Amino acid sequence: MLLRACFCGLLLWGAGARATGSLRQSQKVTPVEKVIELLKKLELQVEDEGKAEAKQYDKTACFCKEQADDKLYAIEKSKEKIKMLNAQIAALEAEIAELNAKVTELTQKIADLEEAIKNLVATRTKAHTAYLLEAKDMDDAISAMQRAITALKDSKKEMTDAKVDFVQLRSTAATVLQAVRRSSKLQATDAQLAAVKALLGSKQEPAAYEFQSNDIIATLESMEVQFKENKKELDQTEFDAKSAFEKEKLNMENEKKFAEKELAETEKLLGMKEEELADAKAELQEEEKDLAADQSFLDVLTENCESQAKCSTSDRRRVRAS
């Protein structure tokens, strides 16, 4: 403005100089005209500098806007991604908690099945051992009665060695009575037991004993038939018990096998989910760092651009004022 005022004053003064200096027509360029020409050049220079300043200002403003827009977009994307990652992490943690609970449940189920199988086998072993003992008593009793029957029948034919036969018969009677007492399956009537006891306590001579032998033989034969039937029932009970045991044990073992397979699959899935969780947490941490960096950059950019804008405005005002 000051240059322009000076320029205008010189123009007025120059006009007067032209009126009074018409006599100097022979001189082509006067000093005043040179000054006027210089002022024109200065004015153009000031205008050019103002345009350059404005151009620089526009360039700076455009740069600040582009950078700010890029960072704002990056910040919004980071916030969206962080929100998504937090949701993913929450879902994974809930799923992992369920899988851990399932692993605990399956582990306990397998342990319970192992204990149940162990107890089942122990119970079966005990029952089978009891069966073997009882079966042996029955077989011994049946075998003893068979020998007794044979001995009695032989004694009727040949009485010369009757004393030896009586020793054998008393031993047989003792075996039969012992088997009846120990076995819950052997059944004998009072008459049958009395006949066996008679053998056990018999001390008769052969001639005196002969008249009772037929009754004793008949009693022993009926007991043999009954004992064999009892042994058959015992064997069938053992067979049924063994079959039920094997079926139950197989079912438990299959259930245990399925539980172990499910446990292995669950643990594998759990491992995968834990890896996903670790990756998601690492990605979240990295994204939060990027967000913080972008936000810090934006804050510095905003501060610098505001400072540059203020300086540019002041400079332009000074240029205009000049």
| pLDDT tens track for 99-121 | 999 999 999 999 999 999 999 99
At residue 321, φ and ψ (nearest 5 deg) are -65, -30
Quick one: pLDDT band at residue 38, thresholds 50, 70, 90? low
State the CATH number of the domain containing residue 149. Answer: 1.10.287
Mean pLDDT, range 192-211, rounded to an integer = 58
Rg (CA), the chain: 61
- pLDDT confidence of residue 271: 97
What is the rounded end-to-end Cα distance, in angstroms, of the chain? Answer: 5
Question: Which amino acid belongs to residue 189?
Answer: T
Is 37 part of a structural domain of the chain? yes
Is 110 part of a structural domain of the chain? yes
Is 259 part of a structural domain of the chain? yes
Is 144 part of a structural domain of the chain? yes
Instruction: Go through the chain and tell me how many residues it has.
Output: 322
**Higher-pLDDT residue of 182, 300:** 300
Is 223 part of a structural domain of the chain? yes
| pLDDT tens track for 132-159 | 988 988 888 888 778 878 877 776 665 5
Number of compact structural domains in the chain: 1
Is 193 part of a structural domain of the chain? yes
Is 133 part of a structural domain of the chain? yes
Quick one: pLDDT band at residue 86, thresholds 50, 70, 90? very high
Is a pLDDT exceeding 90 seen at residue 31? no
Rounded to the nearest integer, the mean pLDDT of the chain is 77
- pLDDT confidence of residue 227: 84
- pLDDT confidence of residue 60: 64
Give counts: helices (H), strands (E), the chain. Answer: 5, 0
- pLDDT confidence of residue 181: 74
Is 24 part of a structural domain of the chain? no
**Higher-pLDDT residue of 56, 80:** 80
Contact 159, 210 (CB under 8 A): yes
| Most confidently predicted of 58-67, 154-163, 165-174, 290-299 | 290-299
Q: Residue 179 belongs to what domain range? A: 1-19+29-322
Q: How far is CA 142 from the centre of its chain?
A: 62
CA dihedral (245, 251, 254, 258) positive or negative: negative
- pLDDT confidence of residue 171: 75
> Contacts for 257-261 with beta carbons within 8 Å, 24 or more apart?
259/106, 259/109, 259/110, 259/113, 260/110
Is a pLDDT exceeding 60 seen at residue 10? no
CA dihedral (256, 257, 261, 264) positive or negative: positive
pTM of the model: 0.62
